[in-house]
């Protein structure tokens, strides 16, 4: 079992890694229309764990010519 004193540091490190826009991400979500486009970087593993719908979509891996699912 993880020592309760280590858990806050582990959680903080994990959240820092997930929020790091310059680090690892394997999904880019673009929302809006030009010139008002917002880009979100995400992690496929999080979507797979949290959303059965997105798990099905991502597991098909059918991309269009522009790389969009």
Average pLDDT over residues 57-62: 76
> Any residues with CB less than 8 A from the CB of 44 and at least 6 apart, and which?
26, 27, 58
pLDDT digits (tens, 9 = 90+) for 14-56: 777 766 666 777 888 899 999 999 988 888 888 888 888 888 8
Please report the pLDDT score of residue 21 as a whole number.
Answer: 63
Please report the pLDDT score of residue 35 as a whole number.
Answer: 93
For residue 63, pLDDT beyond 70: no
Query: How far, in Å, are 6, 45, 53 from residue 29 at the CA level?
Result: 33, 15, 16
For residue 42, which of 64, 55, 23, 60 has the smallest C-alpha distance? 23
Separation between Cα atoms, residue 26 and residue 4, nearest integer Å: 31
Domain boundaries of the chain, sorted by first residue? 17-60
Please report the pLDDT score of residue 67 as a whole number.
Answer: 65
Residues in the chain, total: 69
pLDDT band at 57 (very low <50, low <70, confident <90, very high): confident
């Amino acid at each position: 079992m993880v020592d309760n004193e280590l858990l806050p540091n582990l959680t903080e490190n994990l959240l820092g890694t997930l929020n790091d826009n310059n680090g690892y991400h394997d999904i880019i979500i673009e929302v809006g229309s030009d010139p008002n486009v917002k880009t979100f970087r995400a992690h496929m593993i999080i979507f797979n764990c949290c959303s059965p719908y997105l798990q099905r979509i991502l597991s098909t891996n059918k991309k269009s010519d522009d790389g969009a699912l």
